[in-house]
Amino acid sequence: MKAQILDGKLVASQIRNQIKDIIEKQFKPENLQPGLVAVIVGDNPASRIYVNSKAKACEEVGITSKIIALEESISQTELLNLIQQLNDNPVYNGILIQQPLPAHINAEKINESINPDKDVDGFHPVNLGKLLIGDDGFKPCTPYGIIKLLQHYKIELSGKDVVVIGRSNIVGKPLAAMLIQKNKETNSTVTICHSYTRDISKYTREADIVIAALGKAEFLNADMIKEGSVVVDVGINRIEDLNSNKGYRIIGDVKFDEVSEKAAFITPVPGGVGPMTIAMLLYNTLIASSKFYGIDINVQNFN
């Protein structure tokens, strides 16, 4: 059996087209435009690529965007002052602080300083708290994108056994919180595995859905899953490849070739979760803007 590909690039494109259509029909006639500002600290090449791709995506759907690049030596106080200015700036409805931050800056304090109504990354304690109790707030983009992708392919989550490998604050923990919610979309039974879990295979072999988000190249192999399961690969790992023009290639946390022979559904890397993350960032920015401007959007229309 060859697994069906969960094409995040395709689904993300559809969501982006819906966002663009809403902006064209509901914002532009009122001379309004959603806005997102991204702040990057230091000169991390990967972070710059991510931020630039987000800015490009904004431009394509009609969201005004700005990138603020800061020296790595900036103090935490200076960064906090900048965020306060952005909180007060009505042009930008969404604020994104690109992670990781330099060691001398406390990421938690930075996240807490963002106005929760502009926290389109979904990392503010207020939004994480709302997520935990099932209240309405901004959801972290990668977990949100994963669930939207599964829903698009009509993969049932209710009552299913889901194993999440990884317990990061960005993916693992919020994803588990979303999956266990008592609603028509999720209702899953969730197990989180991590670096201290004894025999991860014991859990993954019983799972209906396995989500690998541990940041270890090709960790999950075919022997670790059951026949016909769903495998979601969140990993982005750069490995040397002398045959590539770049000198490297990107692979996930899953041994794609062998796992795809056993799973029923699988996400590729690249082209799976990554595009969905950006799509949900745009979606969150659209929602933040609609609330700020008082524009009613029918979110049920989104995939």
CA angle at 34 for the pair 7 and 23, rounded to the nearest 5°: 65
Contact 189, 159 (CB under 8 A): yes
**Cis peptide before 100, with omega less than 30 degrees from 0?**
yes
Distance, in Å, from the CA atom of 282 to the CA atom of 57, rounded to the nearest integer, reads: 8
Residue in the block written with tokens 């829903």:
151
Determine whether 135 is exposed, middle or buried from the number of CB atoms within 10 Å of its CB (0-12, 13-18, 19+): exposed
Residue 54: name the closest of 43, 40, 41 by CA: 40
Contact 215, 230 (CB under 8 A): no
Provide the annotated active-site residues: 54, 98, 121
Residue in the block written with tokens 């991510």:
50
